[in-house]
Structure 1
Amino acid sequence: MDYDQQRRDLVAQGRSNCGRIAISVRGMQSWLVRIAPGTVRQLDEEQFAARLREAAGELIRDQFAGIRVLKSRIYG
């Protein structure tokens, strides 16, 4: 399997520190966002946005780490 195909299959994930929001993506094309029941009622807008940023930040770090591993495996 070549780099482009493996890159399309790469899965990255992120979760908020409280675990209420989880994001996953495959190949930066297929996204899934999970929000725990009751989260929208329990958090105000600012708190929700902060938790979403945590999850997104973790996802981005995971994505870049996966790309580094993939490049190392493919290109040495």
Structure 2
Amino acid sequence: MIGLSLVFTLYVQEGLHFSPLKAGLASLPQAVGGVVGFGIAMGAGRQARPYPSAARHPRHGGGRGRARR
């Protein structure tokens, strides 16, 4: 992502002849979207059910009695 934003900023400055300030403002929505998307992904990860622990899993000797073969 860093490489993409660098190339985009250089293209906007050199190819479209934007000033450095305008080029930075043009890439601002991408930066804000990345931060917001990361926050949403972290929140969704916290809401997900965790994997069952091996101590409670019947195949690994936990839970109800001995593991069956």
TM-score by structure 2 length? Answer: 0.51
| Map of 2:3 onto structure 1 | 33
Structure 1 vs Structure 2: percent identity of aligned residues?
2
Distance of 1:54 and 1:45 partners within structure 2: 16
Greater percentage in strand: 1
Q: 1:74 to 1:33 in 2, by over 3 A?
A: farther
Give the aligned CA root-mean-square deviation in angstroms: 2.0
Structure 2 portions without partners, runs of 5+: 51-69
Larger relative contact order, structure 1 or 2 (CA cutoff 8 Å, min sep 6): 1
Q: Partner amino acid for 1:38?
A: Y
* 1:33 CA displacement: 3.0
| TM-score, with structure 1 as normaliser | 0.47
Query: What count of residue pairs does the alignment treat as equivalent?
Result: 45
